Amino acid sequence: MSISLTELWVILGCGAITVLSRVLPFAFVKSLNMPAWLISFLSFVPITIMTALCCESLFVAHAGHLATLNVANCLAAIPATLAGVLTKSLLMVVVVGIMAMAVLRYFSIG
Amino acid sequence: MSPSLTFRTGVRDVLPTVFGYIGVGLAFGIVAHTSHLSLLVVAGLSFVVYAGSAQFIITSMLLLHDPLSAIFISTFLVNSRMILMSTSLAQYFKHESLTRNLLIGTLVTDETFALAMNKQNKTNGKLSFAWQSAANVVAYLVWGVSTVVGAILGGLIADPTRFGFDFALTAMFIGLVYLQLISDKHLGMTLQLSVMVFVALAYYFLIGVMSQNFALLVATVAGCLFGMELKKCR
């Protein structure tokens, strides 16, 4: 159990940066009336951010070159998506996804 | 997911996402352990910084002895998407007091944000302080505890990815994006699908020329602008 001065500063500094990024927008939105274009812009944030977060694990970046697919993740994504279509349950998507990945790893695929 | 917005429903709704937190939390603890961070530092990062992907980046930068300023800038860039999410989520809590808004804001994550967006599709655009706090607090505690347990187990488990738990987070986002797609009646399926394809293509081309975190942000903002224009045209 030890902590260096640098580590302490990193925890406090990054903590402050993160909490401000999260909290300041709440203070702004509470006190200001947002213009219609901003509300329209924000209505697309959920679908765009979730798509981008999915892409983050489905593509592998290569600096200066085109990205490639993360084969294991893409393969496991298929049964996971099917589970979503069939059950519309988040829990089932996660459980089927984990099981699919465990099977892929067992057979060393991807 | 039922339309109920009580604290108890919040706890129940957040449970499926807990798998993602446990999987990634354990992984973070193990990585932190192998990077020679003490339990105290792991707990500090998880309970004070509380920022999944940023914590991995901070750990590797600490290991490389990068300057504090570089660590701060990276953390800000990785978490700048929080600004978009918080602004988006805050609209649902305008009727609540400032204190309650700040409390909710303190613990918002990618996952609880996505969960809230799915929830409001079921409740005619309503969210409650009790429901959101339940989701936030459960996620916060599960994440913190998982990372600490991971750090303790660090020396014992050789390969935690063998059981597929690392895929939990990806699976969760796939589930959340699918549920968002089929339940957001306001934007509709066609418009959302077009935006998804646009974001995926933008992200694919952008990661070749910029860092993944930056590409995520640029693709998201570009996707929102694309969606706005498309909606105007139709």
Residue B85 burial (CB count, 10 A): 26
Contacts of A62 (CB under 8 A, 6+ apart): A68, B208
- Å between B176 CA and nearest CA of chain A: 7
| For residues B73-100, average pLDDT | 90
Do B95 and B15 sit in the same domain of this protein? Answer: yes
User: Given pLDDT bands bounded at 50, 70 and 90, which one contains residue A32?
Assistant: confident
Closest residue of chain A to B79, computed from CA coordinates: A18
Do B39 and B127 sit in the same domain of this protein? Answer: yes
Do B208 and B129 sit in the same domain of this protein? Answer: no
Count of structural domains within chain B? 2
Do B116 and B165 sit in the same domain of this protein? Answer: yes
Residue B1 is assigned to a structural domain of this protein:
no
ipTM confidence = 0.87
CB contact under 8 A, A30 and B94: yes
Domain with B155 in it: 7-185
Do B122 and B208 sit in the same domain of this protein? Answer: no
Both tokens of A73, joined, read 């993740």
User: Given pLDDT bands bounded at 50, 70 and 90, which one contains residue B161?
Assistant: low
Q: Which of A22, A44, A66 sits opposite B223 (nearest CB)?
A: A44
Q: Which of B15, B105, B170 sits opposite A73 (nearest CB)?
A: B170
Residue B2 is assigned to a structural domain of this protein:
no
Residue B60 is assigned to a structural domain of this protein:
yes
CA distances from A44 to B62, B108, B222, B228 (A): 36, 18, 10, 8
Do B99 and B18 sit in the same domain of this protein? Answer: yes
Chain A contact set for B102 (CB, 8 A): 23, 26-27
Do B115 and B171 sit in the same domain of this protein? Answer: yes
User: Given pLDDT bands bounded at 50, 70 and 90, which one contains residue B160?
Assistant: low
Chain B contact set for A37 (CB, 8 A): 228
Do B140 and B176 sit in the same domain of this protein? Answer: yes
Q: Is the pLDDT of residue B60 over 70?
A: yes
3-state secondary structure string, B23-89? HHHHHHHHHHHHCCCCHHHHHHHHHHHCCHHHHHHHHHHHHCCCCHHHHHHHHHHHHHHHHHHHHHH
Instruction: Classify residue B36 as exposed, middle or buried by CB count within 10 Å of its CB (0-12, 13-18, 19+).
Output: exposed
